[in-house]
Amino acid sequence: MDLQAIWFFLWGLLWAVFFMTDGFDFGIGVLYPFLGKSDTDKRLMINSIGPLWDGNEVWLITAGGVTFAAFPTVYAVMFSSMYSALMLILFALILRGVAFEFRRKVDNDTWKKIWDICIFIGGLVPAVLFGVAFANIFQGIPIDGNGVNQGNLFSLLNPYGLLGGVLFLLLFLVHGALWIAIRTEGDLNERAGLAANKLWYWLAAAAVIFLVSSKFATKLYDNYIAHPALFLVILITVLALFATKFFILKKTWLKAWFASALTIVGSTFFGVIGLYPNLFPSSLDPAFSLTAQNASSSPLTLKIMLGVVVVFIPIVIGYQIWIYTIFSSKVTEEDLSYDEAY
């Protein structure tokens, strides 16, 4: 396997890990006004991700950094052709972080409602727009030979792009509901489990529609047909989706969450494998597409970066496992009395 192929795989893996980790944060943000029946419920939901959400965003920075360093041309074209969508995601992420901190500063209902809305927007906008963006990449962006996008923000909101947004949103909603079920007790725990159970049916339907639509709207299946063994990725993802339902019915929330995490990773790799070697395919002319070969940095740069990744990524993973282990206990009303609580 050449360096470009290795970095293509790592690029996809980092995005998958980001969706797996920060995905449940987004889901909780969207579920926040629906499951949070009281101020205590809302604070329990926020504190269930309080020590983790900003650490989860490290993977977004890493994925963006890898795109910049390993595939600089793709980074340049992506941030120019999808500028509006990416800026909306950035503003939503900033708004979410500010809302977590500001909500507790003033004990006033109106003040809290304002920041509650911001938490909802900060979960909904990234969840949907990341799905829209990747679905459009899967089907191809109208970039010309100079890397200029001939479309606009509204052209991204095509049927297949919106379907990708719905799929990502539902993946994150189920993921988030399961996390609340893991970290809480009592009525909130029961409502979260019930929400995960109901949302699973919508997710399964969206997944089927997306898989079928991908056959007609994209060329993702070309690599699978050329190498039938790759269909194992789709099979594992489907099995993980049904395993999520199985564990939900058993009310073994942690196992259901891990199955959901595998579903998200598998869904991401379904598209990444189908794209290869394209990173940013052009819908105008295949010759204009940016690939792992024509958009990568020099071999020396890729070698140096690979050494850095081999050393530091395991450290980051180990640190995050440690943090998740420390904050694995249930969040209770007693915990909300601490000064550090949101």
DSSP state of 19: H
Average pLDDT, the chain: 94
* Positive or negative torsion for Cα 308, 309, 311, 312: positive
Mean pLDDT for the stretch of residues 215-235: 96
Percent of the chain with pLDDT over 70: 100
* 218 burial level (CB within 10 Å; 0-12, 13-18, 19+): buried
The pLDDT of residue 149 is 84
Find the farthest-apart pair of alpha carbons in the chain and give their distance in angstroms, rounded: 61
How much is the pLDDT for 133? 94
Q: What is the pLDDT of residue 341?
A: 77
pTM above 0.75, yes or no: yes
Q: What pLDDT, on the 0 to 100 scale, is given for residue 84?
A: 87
pLDDT score recorded for residue 78: 87
DSSP 189-208: HHHHHHHHHHHHHHHHHHHH
Q: Measure the CA angle with vertex 311, ends 306 and 315; round to 5°.
A: 130
Average pLDDT score over residue span 140-148: 89
Q: What pLDDT, on a 0 to 100 scale, did the predictor assign at position 242? A: 98
What pLDDT, in 10s, does the model give residues 1-56?
A: 699 999 999 999 999 999 999 999 999 999 999 999 999 999 999 999 999 999 99
- Residue 83 confidence (pLDDT): 87
Tokens coding 258: 């891990």
- Predicted confidence at residue 93, as pLDDT, reads 95
Query: Confidence class of residue 72 from pLDDT cuts 50, 70 and 90?
Result: very high
What's the pLDDT at 1?
61
Q: How confident is the model over 293-309, as pLDDT tens digits?
A: 999 999 999 999 999 99
Assess whether pLDDT exceeds 70 at residue 243: yes
From CA 187, how far away is CA 331, in angstroms rounded?
Answer: 13
pLDDT score of 225? 97
